[in-house]
Structure 1
């Protein structure tokens, strides 16, 4: 059987793209070097934060609203539990980017939210220990997404709609041809009319001609047994901007009785082929020392840790667009450590770009041309002050 479109990479973004394309009636071939829902890239770890009062840039909010609708729809269609809407708490100084950016998005888009002072934070959330200068933005439409279950759900649905999904088949290179595209793997050469590249941390290799400088960074996710598990049952997700502007984030009690915490930025540059997957004692002590003054009960006893990777663009905004040199190729990459909450809407956008060449979703911020020396870097200045 011939294929209309090949999807390279079947993690979060690729699996959602394969689902939407197959649901639209296209003959889809999906390729991934690893088994389904693997832990070698960026779509693993049991939980990812989803939120809407987005400090990164107000331009993301319409996409987050649509993603929230789609998370619930995909959960219902697949029969898998994907999201816990436990609420979210952003904590930091009023003039820091976490609070000021979240508040700008909430106010611009009229999102339901509350702003609490330090005393109110501790009264409502006894697990949290803010300083006198800290405030918190609280929103209900936030929570935790399960990345592995998301990938499985989208792969299940893609297969249900007839997609041919092949795992354990590494893509070596691709070529745009007069007839469409050709993808060479370690096993075979595949041809199709169109190509979607959602390769995660392997983007720098497969998209070296895109003109986007992407850097792969190593991060560690940590799980601790809390001192009082009941205090973290149903706990909202949180992002805390601590000293020096560094952020860490955390979740409520998981099914195994642990809570997860991690740093948001500051990872080491790495290569996916040689990433150090050993978690060292000093790394455990670093996160414990940073988190303990703020959420002391969360980091009582270390249980385990696992590495993951961010594929970062210089401005930490995504790349979602037709390839500027090859109209038959659509790229979705550079999600910079904050992309997973967008997975289902990215799938919808990719399907639009493949089938129609455009989308009604606002994606100007994600144009790879912003890195061209001939263009001005993209800003959502029409939304107010840009928050990097």
Structure 2
């Protein structure tokens, strides 16, 4: 096993991947003003099939018993506010919208996750941001949840510091900060596309791109999100899973279009959603077990996205699950067609903590991945922690995110996910033996009831 040595001043650092982890790390390292930093990606920023390229992502400190994530978010919230000030000075829209978030439980009793989240937040000294809501208070304050309350989602608390980020715009914002700090970007299908590590035995000396050019570096950081497990040998440390996102376009007369003070929300089992956007999109997503796309050569799951499969939608099974849940939570959507749908890819670790660590079998390489579906909210702050790991500084984060063996007792998804058991396995997309894994047709996505 190799011993990690931090890069000396003047080192050239290559970061592979221009998504949330890659850009946040690049910017944090550029603040040191002592490295030559280059970022490689096969697409322009924002990268079209990155999980971070989206209309919205949740920003929350509510993490149940995972208090380290809560503390990281508490540290990150002022940076989101600072970015908004920077945007305002440039005449641009905010990237963070502090709408608050409502965390629903059912049948008059908080879920364990809700109880644990509120307790952790209060013990951290932030109890003032929590407001427990009665069923009547939910309906009066947020009338678009009235039918959800009547159908059993009648217990909730409101966190006023939570909200959502315009994730694509946030990625553009940190990219501009990187460019202004002199970071070099090599982007393009051939020139910026990582093909393999350039190495002598176990010593990494740089990378080779698809155009067969060698780019030497003193340190290589692999921040390729859900592609990481299929590019670098990590054993079973990371797996790519596809998660489901849908959009509706409610009619102008709908309460989703007319009611303005909409918060982010989450509700068991694993569903969550966002305020209607200014252009009328209502996004709902599912944080769950997900789906695999296993390649034949080695059985690794590799993202299958709309960049290479333009007609992809979501599996039939997923659509059924959404319709069943929404029939109770947002019955108004029953008469609405699904306007847009996609599979969004996570890089899942075995315990839902990030994997940010030197590779134990290779010199001069850092893995910065394992978002596990909750990385984007930390965009302004996660790079600062990754930069410390690059520089060999030990912390609670380096220990939690390090190369680790996860036994069956600690292998688990985070508390918001619909699947609570790591023993279960995702289904294979487009499995010829399973009709439920086929992609929906345009007809499938239409409402199944007559329109009035």
- TM-score where L is the length of structure 1: 0.86
Offset at residue 298 of structure 1 (A): 5.5
SS at match of 1:370: coil
CA deviation digits over 1:69-91, x for unaligned, max 9? 22223343464521101001111
How far has the Cα of 1:133 moved from its partner?
Answer: 6.8
Distance 1:125 1:363 in 2: 41
Q: Deviations over 1:222-266 (max 9, x none)?
A: 11123223444231100111xxxx211111120211211111113
What is the CA–CA distance in structure 1 between the aligned matches of 2:386 and 2:199, rounded to whole Å? 18
Choose which of 172, 176, 181 in structure 2 pairs with 1:152.
172
> Which residue of the partner structure matches residue 267 of structure 2?
240
Q: Deviations over 1:37-92 (max 9, x none)?
A: 12313112210000112236122111101221222233434645211010011111
**Distance verdict in 2 for CA 1:324–1:99, change over 3 Å:** same
Residue 110 of structure 1: which of 112, 125, 138 is its match? Answer: 125
**Matching residue within 245, 251, 254 for 2:277:** 254
Of the structure 1 ranges 345-354 and 268-277, higher mean CA displacement relative to structure 2 is found in 268-277
Q: How does 1:103-182 map to 2 (within 5 A)?
A: 103-111=118-126, 112-128=129-145, 129-130=148-149, 131-132=151-152, 134-168=154-188, 169-175=192-198, 181-182=205-206
Note if 1:223 corresponds to 2:247.
Answer: yes
Q: 1:204 to 1:134 in 2, by over 3 A?
A: same
Q: Does 1:294 find its partner at 2:329?
A: yes
2:99 is the alignment partner of 1:86: yes
Choose the corresponding residue for 1:341, options 377, 383, 389.
Answer: 377
SS at match of 1:305: strand
State the Cα deviation string for residues 89-109 of structure 1 (Å, max 9, x = none): 111144534313322322331
Question: Which stretches in structure 1 are left out of the alignment for 5+ residues?
Answer: 380-386
For 1:305, the equivalent position in structure 2 comes to 341
Query: What's the Cα RMSD here?
Result: 2.8
SS at match of 2:328: coil
Distance 1:370 1:118 in 2: 44
Aligned equivalent of 2:386: 350
Q: Which residue of the partner structure matches residue 16 of structure 1?
A: 24
Instruction: State the distance in 2 between where 1:312 and 1:138 align.
Output: 28
**2:220 counterpart residue number:** 195
Count of residue pairs the alignment pairs up: 372
Separation (CA, whole Å) in 2 of partners of 1:251 and 1:92: 17
Distance 1:43 1:113, change over 3 A: same
What is the CA-CA distance between 1:372 and the residue it aligns to?
7.9
Q: Does 1:213 align with 2:213?
A: no
- Contact preservation (8 Å) 1:92, 1:98: no
CA contact (8 A) 1:211 1:372 kept: no
Could you tell me which residue of structure 1 aligns to residue 209 of structure 2?
185
Q: 1:240 to 1:127 in 2, by over 3 A?
A: same
What TM-score does the superposition give when structure 2 sets the normalisation length? Answer: 0.75
Distance (whole Å) between structure 2 residues aligned to residue 173 and residue 372 of structure 1? 30
Match of 1:383 in 2: none
Distance 2:407 2:152 in 1: 45
